[in-house]
Amino acid sequence: MAKYAEALDDVFVALADPTRREVIRRLGSGPASVGELARPFQITLPSFMKHVRTLESSGLIRTAKSGRVRTCTLNRERLELLDGWLDEQRRIWEARTDRLEELVTHQEETP
């Protein structure tokens, strides 16, 4: 459970930045090199690499170096942690709605 909470922390932190979200979006279309990913951004390569490292350590992407080229791949499973968390919230809301409905029905039945 602690590991799940930590993984969620890392994923949320990693996604709390427009550059990193843009990288995730781009990798949704397929793997890309760091150079290719960095191109649309007005930042230095070392700054961009920090974003890559944050994404990698969160588990959202994987990287592999071949010669001088580092290729990044999206790890969709890790992104699906968010779906799981959101589903859990929805189940809680639905349980609440059910309780409220029960309460209203009960009140209507009571003369």
Taking the complex as a whole, the smallest distance from the CB of residue 102 to a second copy amounts, in Å, to 14
Taking the complex as a whole, the smallest distance from the CB of residue 44 to a second copy amounts, in Å, to 21
Tokens for 53, please give them: 């490292």
* Interface residues toward a second copy, by CB under 8 A: 5, 8-9, 12-13, 15-18, 21, 24-25, 28-30, 76, 79, 82-83, 85-86, 88-89, 92-93, 95-96
* Cβ–Cβ < 8 Å for 78, 59: yes
| Cα within 13 Å of Cα(39), Cβ side | 6
7 vs 49, which CB is nearer to a second copy? 7
Backbone phi and psi for residue 61, each to the nearest 5 degrees, phi listed first: -130, 160
48 vs 58, which CB is nearer to a second copy? 58
Taking the complex as a whole, the smallest distance from the CB of residue 77 to a second copy amounts, in Å, to 12
Separation CA 13–CA 27 (nearest Å): 18
Integer-rounded Cα radius of gyration of the chain? 21
Taking the complex as a whole, the smallest distance from the CB of residue 21 to a second copy amounts, in Å, to 7
